[in-house]
Chains A and B, each alone.
Chain A
Amino acid sequence: MTSEPASLPAEIIEYIRECMARENGESYLIPVLQRIQKQFGYLAKEHMNQVSQLMQIPAVKVTGVATFYHFFSFIPKGEIRITICMGTACFVRGADKVLAKLSELLAIAPGQTTPDGKFSLECARCLGACALAPIVLVNDRVYGNVLPADVPKILKEYGFEKPVQPKPVKQS
């Protein structure tokens, strides 16, 4: 797991200062959170607390807004970000089964990251490539017409080995 970032970078602090200089500065909370998420892939607790102090918005309001929107994530994204389209076209062509396979092999649910920080799994509403349904996006690369059986091969391209099953602990 990546370690908790200590402080927001100077450019984001500068951006917050710019926002606060404007009228109703605190109404820029969402754009500020979006910038942080864009840069770090998620919203860290320390970052949200810093936003709270810099914008003088109570922390509970910051987290209230952040947890309201599905767009914001609170856990670090993996090095390799796998996104599966769950739009109508992809769904009717079996995206749910592909997702189940990804989830099973990576042993994480959508929205989560593997404990080694390598892979993260997300669902998207529609990626706009319905002709290729169902599609899987790995970082920026598009895989079309994916079947559940294709999943191990795709993962292998990114260095994924099926995790060794932990040995059962002997009961003494």
Chain B
Amino acid sequence: MTAVETINLEIDGIHVHAEKGRTIMEVADSMGIRIPRLCFHPQLSTLGACRVCIVEVEGMRNPVASCAYPVSAGMKIKTSSPTLRRLRRDIVELLLDNHPRECQTCERDGNCELQNLAYSLGVRERLFAGERKKFKIEKSSRAVIRDAERCILCGRCVRVCEEVQGVCNLDVQKRGFGSVVSPAHGEKMAESVCIHCGQCINVCPTAALIEHSDTEAVLNALDDPDLHVIVQTAPSIRAAVGEGFGFPPGTPTTGKMVTALRLMGFSKVFDTNIGADLTIIEESEEFLSRLKKNEKLPLITSCSPGWISFMERFYPEMIPNASTCKSPMSMLSTLVKTCYAEKKKLDPEKIFVVAIMPCTAKKYEANRPEHMAPWGKPYTDAVLTTREFIWLAKCLGVNYRELPDGEFDAPLGMSSGAGDIFGATGGVMEAALRTAYEKVTGDTCPNLNFLEVRGVAGVKEATIDLKGTEINVAVANGLHNAKTVLNGILRGEKKLHIVEVMACPGGCVAGGGQPYPPEGMYVLDPNLARMRAKALYAIDANKQLRKSHDNPEIMRWYAEYLGEPNGHRTHELLHTSYTAKLPRGVR
């Protein structure tokens, strides 16, 4: 092992011993000095575009960008001086001058990095007044809205789309004052290779990228006396909603969330987890039948709509391998408007299903033609992101922190712990293994914790021994990581039986619709994903019911309405299909 070379330097008059090759910003961070920053993102490549993080280095004529500049021996650095403060203020003021003055009406709701930066740098006067760029807001996508007038060209969305998601749908086009971040040919998002994951929204420091809002539709439905408004909540949101109300990350607030939804006026509060249990039962049957016939392996999970879009545009040859199971959200919505409506003698056209999801791609999924009911309306009428739900609760005067715990409504509220862990990367795999083990061996699964597939690593591979039947599994999160696994499969290097893909890095807990991170954490922070996931695993560990196929409520639905798992009726209702789509992405 080679020793790390260290050097001595001085930052703000303090001697520091630092590793060679580190940037000035990294060394300052380690000393507790936070240099202001904007385009910098710790999980993305260094761009050095905004120049907000400039520092003075003794002997250098001009300030340097600390995010990009490496430390060297004997350097004397100043991170704050009258000149630096003035320059930083001017830089941010110039950005503000070319930015709409609509902060009070902006969807960022005051949680804007540009605004916070302006406050912290003390931009109190607006001295510049120049030409302002003019672009139309682009609303073609059901998931991601692009407002180039609010864009400050930090390039974070460009980098996350390429480096983390491997999609590369966004880049700077044109030059100089005309520069604009857009898909190829300045196309609409809906006609681009966008896979709707929403990670660009998460990393955007302003509201240049924002989710398509469905809050108005939900408010209207809640006010409509003819509608029976049912809500379902995704596994991962219970671990993140609390952050919107000041709870530390990783605080599960399931009970408060249920009470809040009831206060907000929803007739029934159902749990998407039961859809997850249903997915596991269908998907494990599908897997066993493929395993028996040794065909269409590996089976690839289909819960993540970002991944499904990615597959359709980037890996269409993998379509036969994808599970035909609808996602838990779509399964539950379909069940509600068919079997549940029948059981409760409700007119399905008068049921309005709202799904609260950690995800922007779910908004797209809900509106896919494959998920339309026979009467031409989607089974899921509206999808709210976790962020939108938090806003809506505040808008409707819900005092979330003080709420007592509530329970989900029967008969679609009881779920196993396997459903809860769907929200974390590896969770779907673990849930499937718990059921597959028992179905393959006929014995009780001795250890329900498949630790091999837990954790936030980008790719996890394991061989699971089902008492003599060895199955190879792989779990990928973040589509750039998924490419590694898929390319391995296509080159014949990987012999796998089941692959779980979640589009977002860390899984749904770090989805494109989750709350903007609290102070001290950042988007794509592996610790944030870890803390939220930990909450889900804790919920699972505390449940008696931890296997999907032991869920008595589900078994009742099969007995009364659905028939055999993976059978004719379930295929009609709970399965779907995919098609190769254009434009084709470059992988």
Contacts and interface: CB of A to CB of B under 8 A. Distances in A.
Interface of A: 45, 48-49, 52-53, 56-64, 67-68
Given A58-B162, A59-B185, A59-B586, 12 more contacts: A48-B185, A53-B584, A58-B171, A58-B586, A60-B170, A60-B171, A60-B182, A61-B168, A63-B186, A64-B173, A67-B173, A68-B175
A82 B184 CA distance: 29
Contacts of A62: 184
Nearest to A63: B184
B174 A68 contact: yes
A60 B169 contact: yes
B586 A57 contact: yes
A145 to B, nearest CB: 34
Interface in B172-222: 172-175, 182-186, 193
A63 B168 contact: no
Contact of B585 (A58, A64, A68): A58
The list of the 8 closest CB pairs from A to B, nearest first, reads: A59-B184, A58-B168, A60-B184, A60-B171, A64-B171, A58-B586, A63-B184, A67-B174
A62 B171 CA distance: 10
A52 B192 CA distance: 14
B174 A60 contact: no
Contacts of B186: 63
Interface of B: 162, 168-175, 182-186, 193, 583-587
Contacts of A64: 171-173
A60 B186 CA distance: 9
Contacts of A68: 174-175
Given A60-B184, A63-B185, A68-B175, A49 B583 contact: yes
A60 B583 contact: no
Given A45-B185, A52-B586, A53-B584, A60 B168 contact: yes
A60 B183 contact: yes
Contacts of B586: 52-53, 56-59
24 contacts: A45-B185, A48-B184, A49-B583, A52-B586, A53-B584, A53-B586, A56-B587, A57-B586, A58-B171, A58-B586, A59-B193, A59-B586, A60-B168, A60-B170, A60-B183, A61-B168, A61-B171, A63-B173, A63-B184, A63-B186, A64-B171, A64-B172, A68-B174, A68-B175
Contacts of B174: 67-68
A74 to B, nearest CB: 9
A57 B586 CA distance: 7
Nearest to B182: A60
B583 A59 contact: yes
A8 B423 CA distance: 46
A156 to B, nearest CB: 36
A44 to B, nearest CB: 10
A60 B183 CA distance: 6
A45 B184 CA distance: 9
A16 B70 CA distance: 39
A59 to B, nearest CB: 4
B562 to A, nearest CB: 43
A56 B583 CA distance: 13
A57 B193 CA distance: 13
Contacts of B182: 60
A45 B442 CA distance: 58
Most buried by A among B168, B173, B184, B583: B184
Nearest to B161: A60
A49 B584 CA distance: 9
Contacts of A61: 168, 171
A57 to B, nearest CB: 7
Contacts of B171: 58, 60-61, 63-64
Contacts of B184: 48-49, 52, 58-60, 62-63
Contacts of A53: 584, 586
Most buried by B among A48, A59, A63: A59
Contacts of A60: 168-171, 173, 182-184
A61 B184 CA distance: 7
Contacts of A49: 184, 583
Nearest to A49: B583
Contacts of A58: 162, 168-169, 171, 184, 193, 585-586
A68 B182 CA distance: 13
Nearest to B167: A58
Contacts of B170: 60
Contacts of A52: 184, 586
Contacts of B585: 58
Nearest to A52: B586
A68 to B, nearest CB: 5
B101 to A, nearest CB: 29
A54 B299 CA distance: 30
Contacts of B185: 45, 48, 59, 63
A128 to B, nearest CB: 26
B158 to A, nearest CB: 9
B169 to A, nearest CB: 6
A72 B184 CA distance: 15
B426 to A, nearest CB: 29
A53 B186 CA distance: 18
B244 to A, nearest CB: 33
Contacts of A67: 173-175
